[in-house]
Structure 1
Amino acid sequence: METLRHIVLFVHLIGFAVLFGSWAVQAFGGKREVTRLMNIGLAIAAVAGLALAAPWGLPADVTMNYAKIGTKLVILLVIGALIGIGSARQKRGEGVAPALFWGIGVLTAANAALAVIW
């Protein structure tokens, strides 16, 4: 069961890598727009994160860190909102605001850091 939990954790980090990687390609490629790959990375990270938040396969003496789970969930929802707002602006033919675009990258890096460090 512990091996399965580590695999789900790996998939969770892969989701953030896909999200951050697709953001970095846009950021340093000069286009600065929201892509479908960002949505896919966000979905992978969200589903795997929710699977990790379930208390399955933990030893009896281990407690869940609900503050960490709540913080990461709020950040994930904000990233999703920023991606959604950026996508809507693009569909209307407007550009993505720089603060909105850079917020996606910074919050994604912060969420991945929380997953690893906290």
Structure 2
Amino acid sequence: METLRHIVLFIHLIGFATLFGAWAVQAFGGKREITRLMHIGISIAAVAGLALAAPWGMPEGAEFNYAKIGTKLVILLVIGAFLGIGQGRQRKSGAVPPVLFWGIGILTLANAGIAVLW
């Protein structure tokens, strides 16, 4: 069961890598726009993160780190909001506000860092 948990953790990190990679391509070589790949990455990270927060495969007597789970969930929701708002603004005016665009990258990096370091 522990192996399955590690596989789901790996998929969770792949989701963040996909989101961050798509963002980095746009930030350093593209038009700084929201892409479909960013939405796919956040979806993978969210589904895998919810699977990791489920109480399966935990050793006897182990407890969840609810502060970490809550922090990561809030950051994930903010990233999702930034993606949605940014895409709406992109459709309307043709450009994503810089604060939203750079916020997506910074929060994605922070969320992946929390997953690995905390």
Name the TM tier (shorter chain).
over 0.9
Cα shift at 1:55: 1.1
Q: How many residues align?
A: 118
One-letter amino acid of the counterpart of residue 107, structure 2: L
TM-score by length of 2: 0.98
Where does 1:1-40 land on structure 2 (aligned, <5 Å)? 1-40=1-40
The CA deviation string for residues 52-92 of structure 1, in whole angstroms up to 9 with x for no partner, is: 00010011121000000000000000000000001101111
State the identity %: 75
TM superposition score normalised by structure 1: 0.98
Q: Give, in whole Å, the separation in 1 of the partners of 2:94 and 2:45.
A: 28
> Deviating runs (4+, > 6 A) in structure 1?
none
Q: Which runs of 5+ in 1 are unaligned?
A: none
Aligned to 2:58: 58
Matches within 5 A, 1:28-107: 28-107=28-107
Provide the C-alpha distance between the structure 1 equivalents of 2:60 and 2:70, rounded to a whole number of angstroms: 22
RMSD across aligned positions (CA): 0.7
* AA of the residue aligned to 1:61: G
Q: Distance in 2 between matches of 1:71 and 1:60?
A: 25
